[in-house]
Every structure is written in structure tokens, then in C-alpha cells.
Structure 1
């Protein structure tokens, strides 16, 4: 399966998220307003933004499948990252709005506790989202798709949000009506936290940031390749769900061009087998430069 087929597989997870969010949004908003649960309504609005975020991921996956062209010689893989960045802004906006509404409700006059039925809706939603999380997480690992992995983390946060909403609603049944808006505040905080994490990872990738520990691991793999004397320099960057590596290795200066080329091929094969990295640019230099001898004839 090549990288374009893997991205196509990732669309299944995005479509599953969209379909699930559409169903749960209608269920939570309807149940939240009917049973007078601020936490459930906030959770419903959270899922509403997740629909937009999942659509952005889906569009990013579609664009990233376009083959390289004159203006994009490396392909369109970063469309996934841009889509995730857009989704983070949408999530942050709604998260802030949920917090403002919840804080206002906390200081308002106490209202009747929401019906216990709203708690069962929240718990049901948590179980559903947890199932979607496990599906998308397994799929993202299998196809090595970072955008889908980010979506799965959003699925997990939604499961936790629904669980928190259920706790707040159940607590309100025991004479603690303020616990429901407090749960709504927790929902808003989780939305904002998830938005920040997606924003940070997206901007880090778009500015060619790369995890230092992972770079050390890649370096160790190359150093253990037979024929490599040392590594002069190594760089890596994320391009959508792909990793691009540039490395300068030093080898025995007595090797022929063909022998040096064999070492380069072995480095590429090891990076693919061990780290699933398909794009590695290897530059070879002699390990020891022997100074040339010049004879000056003076007549």
C-alpha cells in the first residue's frame, strides 16, 4: 500500500467521526434543552465543532492525495496539517464561548437539577465516542497518518467530556445544582486544551520543527548501518504524515562510487523498515581527507 492509498484509507475514519458527531450532536442538544442540562448542551456544542473539524480533516486528506505538480514538487501532504490548524481555531472559539456561558450560569440564580435521563445520554455518548477513538487510533497507527491520529485524540477528549457531563448531572441530583455548570466549565477547558494541543503540533510541523528525541533515534539507526563511519549532519522535517530526512554520512575514502551507493541504499532500506520513512536523501563524504602531495620543481 503506497502513501496515497494510506491517505485514502484515512478517509474512512474521518467519515465515521462525522457521522457519529452528527448523531450525537442532535441527541445531546435535544436532550440537553429538554432536560435542562447545561453540561449536556455544552457537550453538544462541542460535538458540533467537531463536525467542522472532522470536515476540515477530510478536506485536508482529499487535497493531500493530489500528486506532485510544478508548484508542489513534494506533493500536497501538508494540506492535512493546515486543515488541523484551521480546526484548532474553530475548537478554541467554541471552547471560549462555552466557558463564558458556563461561568455566567454558575453565578446566576440556582435552577432545578436537570433530569437524570440526560446523564444516561451523556454516558451513552461517552461509550460511543470511546469506540470511535479505538477504531481511528488503530487505523491511524496502521496507515501512519498523523491527521487521523489527531482526530482520534479529539474523539478521546469527547468521551472524557461526556463522562464529565454525566458526573455533573448525577451530582446535581443530590442537591448540588452548581455541579452542572461546573461540569460545563470543565467541558470548555477540555475543548480549549485540545484546541491548543492541535494548534501547537500543527504550527510546530509547519515551521519544520521536529522532535529531538526522535531525531536521535533516527541518527542511531543510520550510525549502525554497515559502512557508515560517522554522521556529519542530519536533519528531518514533517510533511503531512510523512517524514523527510537529509543526512550527510562519512565513509571509507577508499570505497568506489558503487560501494558508497550500496551504503546509501542500505540506509534507505533500514529507515523504511525500522521507522516507515520513505524519503531519505543521503549525501556521502570521505571519512578522512588525505592532504594531496604537490611537488614543486625549481629549475
Structure 2
């Protein structure tokens, strides 16, 4: 468990990198967008401003997650980052809708002027910077196996693509297609809302103890193949922050003594960790006789 807390602390570096990068890039984009009248770059800058909030949510969540278990939180505080991500999704929704509204209003203006080309080069420069941030966070997330930081890394990559899209839209407007700039802003607004929906969906799914059934079936299959496990009577799992908690009731030969049964549970814990990287497995043992095994197998299926 100590290593888990150390990994969370290491993940905070990635969150800080994202925050600093987004503050600088959003300020640059918004300033240039205002001076060049670029709706696409303005939308991109607002997108990055929401990413500051999202990265702050990840950072705060990681910090709270490092708090040890106490009398009110026997399982620790790992779900704090999930709650923070849920709050960030609401903020991202609001900004995404604002970007969509401003882009639509831009289409309704009598004339559409092409923004200055400096807006385009600002967008492509920022795309390169944030892509390098993505590479750093992606490698760090894989190293420490952090789902929250991996989500932040994927957000970094999508932001790089959004900036590339803004670049294309602005350049297109330079060639007599000024409507391409607000059109790109519409696409950026849609991407913001789509990202917010993905974060909301995953966070709410985790907070309501949802778990991927296909993964649960794989865990069940692994346990079934462990020597000494005669049947799986019940199995369930849930997400707790970056941790996966598995509860399983297994049937073992009723003639086994306590020491032999305990050895089976230790093998299950070890193999589940090695195969699925899950360190929290709660195992309950039920003694069963041979005639009862077919009925138990049909029940779990």
C-alpha cells in the first residue's frame, strides 16, 4: 500500500505540468484570439481554460487520495479524484456550450472577416507544446498505473488535435473561406462537450459501483483455474479511485482444514495481482461437497 501512495505522489508531477502548461497556453491563445478576432483560437483557448480546472481537479483528487484511512474512511480516500473529475465535467459542459453559442452567433453576423495568420501559428505552436506534455503524462501514467493521470494524458492529446484543427480552420479562412474559422469553433465546442460527457459517464459509473462485466468475467476465469477452487459461488467488483476491489466467495473441498483453505486464498490473491494487477481481493470460503458442485456452477453461470 505504501508504494501505491508513493505512485499517487509521483502522479502529482504530471498534474502540475498540465496545469502550468494550460495556464500559459490558454493565456497566449486568448490574448492572440482577441487581437486577431479568431473564433477558432478563442474556442481553443477557452478549451484550455477548462483543462486547467480539470487538471486542478486531478491534482486535488490525487492529494486527497494520499490521505490514509481513518475512522470515517476505512477504505481510504481514493475516490476523491473521481468526485473531483465529476465536478470538472460540469464546468467543461458549461464552457463547451458557451463556445457553441458564440460560434453560432458568429455565423449570424453580416460579414465574416478572416483572422490574422499569427493566430494560426499560435495554434500550431501550442499544439506541439501540449503534445509533448501528453507524451510525458502518458509514460508516467503507464509507469505508475494511474487511471486518472492516463485520462489527463488523453485529454492532453485531444487538446493537441483541437489546436491543429484550429490551425487548419484559420489557414482556410485566409484563402477566402472565413466561415471555416467559426465552423472550427463549432467543432471545438463539440469536442469539449464530448470530453465532458466521457468524464461524467466514467466518473458516475465508478461512483455508483459500476464495473466492466467483461473484465469481471476474466477475473472469474482466472480464479476458476486456480487449484483448490471447486466453484465460484459469488463474485463482484467495484472501482475505488485508482483501485479495483474484488469480493469473491469460493467453494472448496469440505475436507480441507483451515490452513489448507487459507493457502488457496493466498494463491488467489497472488495470481490476481500478477495477472490483473489487483491488490484488493476479499475472499470468503464455503465448504462444499462433490454433489453440490454442479448446482453451484449452474448458479454462478
What is the CA distance between 1:251 and its match in structure 2?
A: 1.4
Q: Deviations over 1:202-246 (max 9, x none)?
A: 000000000011111111111111111221111000000000000
Cα drift, residue 112 of structure 1: 2.1
Which of 1 and 2 has greater Rg? 1
Equivalent residue, structure 2, for 1:93: 94
- 2: CA distance, partners of 1:3 / 1:11: 13
User: Normalising by the residue count of structure 2, what TM-score does the alignment of the two structures yield?
Assistant: 0.94
The residue number in structure 2 matching 1:191 is: 192
Would you say 1:166 and 2:177 are equivalent positions? Answer: no
The structure richer in helix per residue is: 2
CA distance in 1, matches of 2:111, 2:122: 23
| Count of aligned residue pairs for this structure pair | 291
Following superposition of structure 1 onto structure 2, how do residues 73-222 of structure 1 map, counting pairs within 5 Å? 73-222=74-223
Once residues 109 and 151 of structure 1 are traced to their aligned partners in structure 2, the CA distance between those partners, rounded to angstroms, is 40
Distance 2:55 2:24 in 1: 14
Gaps of 5+ in 2: 293-301
- Matching residue of 2:297: none
Task: Give the Cα–Cα distance (whole angstroms) in 2 for the partners of residues 283 and 107 of structure 1.
Answer: 65
- Structure 1 portions without partners, runs of 5+: 292-299
In 2, the alpha carbon distance for the partners of 1:216 and 1:20 equals 41
Write the distance in 1 (CA, Å) between the matches of 2:96 and 2:158. Answer: 13
TM-score by length of 1: 0.94
What residue in structure 2 maps to residue 58 of structure 1? 59
1:289 is displaced (CA, Å) by 6.7
Secondary structure of residue in 2 paired with 1:74: coil
Q: Which deviates more, 140-149 or 254-263? A: 140-149
Structure 1 residue runs of 4 or more that deviate by more than 4 Å after TM superposition: none
